[in-house]
Structure formats: structure tokens, C-alpha cells
């Protein structure tokens, strides 16, 4: 039987709502969903050699291989579908507080004076 380690995970509430929905849709617990997502990411990193130190030559070979698979023409097709307007739509405005660096509703606290979240 596998042994388990515990890790307290802080998840933003906006992501938590999506996590709950995705886990319910898959018919698994949120913990099971998170474990599966982490396992998939780790497997991808392991397959690409990122879980060990790569020499500069290995890094270059990996990037060359990725570049060979690229489809640069495809980017243009995707961007064409995005539209060309530069118009500011309702709700896209930048607040005066953000532009001044102050916290919304408190012009006395510039963004540079904010304390980082614990763990950052």
C-alpha cells in the first residue's frame, strides 16, 4: 500500500469553485482530482527530463526538438479569429486606483507599500 504525505494547500476561491465542479463532473473527490492533476503534470515533466538537472546541451536539444514540432503558421490563423478591435468594452476599463498604484477604496496605500501574502 502506498504511503501518503500531507500538504496544506491554499487555493483561491475562484479556482476552488472550478475545482469543485471538475471533481464532481469526474465523479471523484477534490483531493482525488488534485492528486490526479499533480500526477499528470509530474509525468509530463519527468518525460521531458525536467525533474533532473539538464546540461546546456540537453536543454538545447529539447528546445530544438520542440521548435521542429512547431507550426508557426497556425498562430496567425488563431489570432485572426480573435478579432481586430482595440475598442475598450464595458467592464474592461482600468481603474484610477490601479493606475495610481493605490488599493481600491484606499488611496493612501500605494501598491508598493503592500505586504506580500505569507509564503510569497
Give pLDDT tens digits for 81-96: 777 777 778 888 888 8
* Residue 91 counted as domain residue: no
What is the reported pTM? 0.43
pLDDT band at 61 (very low <50, low <70, confident <90, very high): confident
Return d(Cα 89, Cα 87) in angstroms, integer. Answer: 6
Domain limits at 67?
11-77
Q: What is the DSSP letter of 52?
A: S
User: What three-state secondary structure class fits 28?
Assistant: coil
* Residue 102 counted as domain residue: no
What is the predicted pLDDT for the residue at 82? 78
Residue labelled with grid coordinates 500500500:
1
What is the predicted pLDDT for the residue at 107? 47
β-sheet bridge partners, residue 42? none
What is the predicted pLDDT for the residue at 103? 60
Residue labelled with grid coordinates 464595458:
90
What is the predicted pLDDT for the residue at 33? 94
* Residue 69 counted as domain residue: yes
What is the predicted pLDDT for the residue at 115? 47
Greatest mean pLDDT among 36-40, 77-81, 116-120: 36-40
pLDDT band at 12 (very low <50, low <70, confident <90, very high): very high
Residue labelled with grid coordinates 471538475:
22
| CB atoms inside a 10 Å sphere around CB 61 | 13
Number of structural domains, the chain? 1
**Alpha carbon distances (Å) from 96 to 25, 48, 104, 110:** 40, 44, 9, 12
* Residue 84 counted as domain residue: no
Q: What angle do CA 88, 89, 95 make, to 5 degrees?
A: 70
* Residue 35 counted as domain residue: yes
* Residue 24 counted as domain residue: yes
* Residue 103 counted as domain residue: no
* Residue 54 counted as domain residue: yes
Amino acid at each position: 500500500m502506498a504511503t501518503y504525505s500531507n500538504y496544506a494547500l491554499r487555493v483561491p476561491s475562484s479556482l476552488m469553485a472550478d475545482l469543485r465542479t471538475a471533481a464532481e463532473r469526474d465523479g471523484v473527490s477534490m483531493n482525488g482530482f488534485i492528486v490526479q492533476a499533480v500526477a499528470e503534470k509530474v509525468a509530463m515533466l519527468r518525460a521531458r527530463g525536467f525533474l533532473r538537472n539538464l546540461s546546456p546541451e540537453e536543454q538545447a536539444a529539447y528546445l530544438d526538438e520542440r521548435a521542429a514540432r512547431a507550426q508557426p503558421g497556425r498562430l496567425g490563423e488563431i489570432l485572426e479569429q480573435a478579432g481586430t478591435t482595440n475598442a475598450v468594452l464595458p467592464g474592461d476599463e482600468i481603474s484610477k486606483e490601479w493606475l495610481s498604484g493605490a488599493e481600491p477604496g484606499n488611496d493612501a496605500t500605494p501598491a508598493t507599500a503592500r505586504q506580500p501574502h505569507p509564503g510569497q
